[in-house]
Amino acid sequence: MSVHMKQKRINIAMSKEKADLVIKNANIINVFTKEIVRGDIAICSDQIVGIGNYRGVQEIDAKGKFVCPGLIDSHVHIESTMVTPSEFAKAVIPHGTTTIIADPHEIANVCGINGISFMLNQSKDLPMNIFYMMPSCVPSTPFENNGADLNSELIKSFLSNESILGLGEVMDYPSVINGDKKMLEKIDLFDDKIIDGHSPSLSGKELNAYRAAGVITDHECSTVSEAIDRLRLGMYVQIREGSGAKNLENLITGLLDKKINLDKCIFCTDDKHLEHIKTDGHISYNVKKAIKLGVKPIDAICMATINSAECYKLKRLGAIAPGYSADLIILDDLENFIVNSVLYRGKTVFEKGKLIAEIKTKIDDKNVFNTVRIPKVDEKSLEIKISGDEAFVIKLNEKELITKKEKVKVKVVNGVFVPDNKYSKAAVIERHKAINNIGLGIISNFNIKNGAIASTVAHDSHNLIVVGDNDLDMLIAIEELKRVEGGYTVVSNGEIKGTLKLPIAGIMSDKPSEEVMKILNVMLMEAKKLGINENVDPFITLSFLALPVIPEIRITDKGLFDVTKFKFVNIF
């Protein structure tokens, strides 16, 4: 910033000049003193320069409405919305989110450095702040094949990038607490920055060791005791409320009951789907829910603003005060958190139900396309050979990501498993390097009839996964996703009922979010026609069936994996 600009800001703060913009007669949420202050907000260019009584070249009369800082999502994977950063921005800005801290490990697992560069480029010149954390675990585990490997040498070149705040969620906590050199080399690179955690159930000396390595946050707390353990060590607890994991109510009620200070609690969504953002809100939903559970409105706003900003060392974000960015929300109602308008860097970007900011999407990076590489798959490739009539199956739990390992009697003809209405066939096919790896398994409680569904969204390595009750439909689904370069598809009786194309790394669309939601809703209806368990989301279930870190049993391109024993097992 030039000396001239500093002089101008000082002059406006001293009322020697008119401000560029003044928000008059506002009830201002002060996140430092946790009080509401009546006054004007003077803005010079993109920065707040004064609170008090001011005149401006342009003036907005708040008429006593509440004004709070723009909201911050402290941990999110944009790729999980299946749209580009610009389309994501269109979805969250109307709900008051002006800053996100994203971890691009989904696209990095497919495209490596090219994927991270794509996300950085797509996040430029948007009417919101998008910061990134450098993925720490690519590949996420050694139990599946992915598309890339990010070692410390490769990620070193990003250290000077101002958009990268630190190291993304360190999921491989066993490597940390066992002093693995390769993992510690990555952590050491970001020693003066923020290191995000991911340590469900870790406690005692192991948690001490994890914290001693430099990890400062954790979004995986599901119990109050886990949260308190981390808060006592000076960690920030990211209270998560997304489409899959919903930890807010349990954590908030428990922390309130125990009268725990919330200054190191921050909000995140982790994964939240577009339709849920549209209907429920984004971080605004976390704020509203926390207030309803008994958190004071200003405390809830602090958790969504200044607490996150201080955690991630964003010194100009998260507050309404001189020297802070003019990222503001004007609220019609404080306790119900009804957003009237949103300002980003002093410009109105959303007002009275309408997105005002012009957001364009231009995709010219070819390095993230054509990522689905699969050799020819035939019926023989999908055969599950079984000795006898008993097999281990993956039993789906309704409304949960956790599965159960069971040994049951299944239909076997000539030594080969035959799917029926109760037991479906699943296949995970390596799709990055065409190495012909196919893992096979049996699923119960999915209940698909006369069809198959398939996806190239399969956390975290994003291989192709297909579930069906007959090989013909499964093979058609596989070929369809090869044809469109990735996505979701539904097939029944030899006919493709619907396909959502996700050509960017096989996990993201290059189309507008409205079109993505429309197609997905149609496909959900088609999936339901196949008799899939109503309490099992077909596509979310598919996307997590291949993640070998969630108990009890999973399937990867390398085979059936027992998470509790951390080893591969035979089907029979």
The H helix count followed by the E strand count for the chain is: 17, 30
DSSP assigned state of 508: B
**Closest by alpha carbon to 491, among 445, 526, 528?**
526
Domain around 7: 3-64
Sheet arrangement for strand 129-134 = 71-76, 97-102, 129-134, 164-170, 194-197
Tell me which H or E stretch contains 18. Answer: none
The verdict on 95 and 182 lying in the same domain is: yes
180 and 274 in a single domain? The answer is yes
Mean pLDDT in order along the chain per 10 residues (572 residues) = 91 97 98 98 98 98 98 97 97 98 97 97 97 95 94 92 97 92 95 95 96 97 96 98 90 97 97 93 98 98 98 98 98 95 98 93 91 96 94 89 92 96 96 97 96 96 98 98 98 98 98 95 94 89 90 95 92 92
Cβ atoms within 10 Å of 8's Cβ, excluding its own: 18
First to last CA, the chain: 68
One domain, residues 33 and 147: no
Among residues 371, 377, 505, 348, which one has the least CA distance to residue 437?
377
Query: What is the pLDDT, as a whole number, of residue 537?
Result: 85
The answer to whether residues 197 and 212 belong to one domain is: yes
Degrees to nearest 5, angle at CA 550 with 246 and 368: 85
Q: In what helix (H) or strand (E) does residue 211 lie, and over which residues does it extend?
A: helix 204-212
Q: Around 90, how many Cα atoms within 13 Å sit in the side-chain half-sphere?
A: 15
Tell me: do 53 and 194 sit in the same domain. Answer: no
Structure tokens at 43: 């803005």
- Residues 206, 353, single domain; the answer is yes
Of 6, 97, 71, residue with least CA distance to 45: 6
Buried b (16+ CB within 10 A) or exposed e, 405-431: beeeebebeeeebbbeebbbbbbbbbb
Q: What are 282's two structure tokens?
A: 């984004």
Same domain, 73 and 200: yes
- Same domain flag for 248 and 299: yes
> Shortest CA distance to 322 belongs to which of 9, 1, 3, 541?
9
Domain boundary (36, 64, 92) is at 64
Q: Are strands 71-76 and 66-69 parallel, antiparallel or unpaired?
A: unpaired
Query: Same domain, yes or no, for 400 and 507?
Result: yes
Q: What is the tens place of the pLDDT at every residue in 25-45? A: 999 999 999 999 999 999 999
d(CA 336, CA 352): 16
3-class SS shares of the chain: helix, strand, coil, % to 5: 30, 30, 40
Give the span between the Cα atoms of 340 and 95, in whole angstroms. Answer: 9
Q: What is the largest CA-CA distance in the chain?
A: 91
* Residue listed under structure tokens 């946790």: 34
**What does the pLDDT look like over 63-113, one tens digit per residue?**
999 999 999 999 999 999 999 999 999 999 999 999 999 999 999 999 999
| Position 430, amino acid | E
Which of 319, 343, 364 is the last residue in one of the domains? Answer: 364
Q: Let me know whether 100 and 155 are in one domain.
A: yes
The residue among 322, 219, 258, 232 whose CA lies nearest residue 9 is: 322
342 and 211 share one domain: yes
CATH code of 287's domain: 3.20.20.140
pLDDT at 102: 98
Question: Among 317, 349, 364, which residue terminates a domain?
Answer: 364
Residues 141, 167 contacting (CB under 8 angstroms)? no
The domain tally of the chain equals: 3
CA 539 to chain centre: 16
Mark whether 335 and 420 lie in a shared domain.
no
AA letter at 440: L
Q: What is the pLDDT of residue 1?
A: 65
Q: How are beta strands 129-134 and 97-102 bridged, if at all?
A: parallel
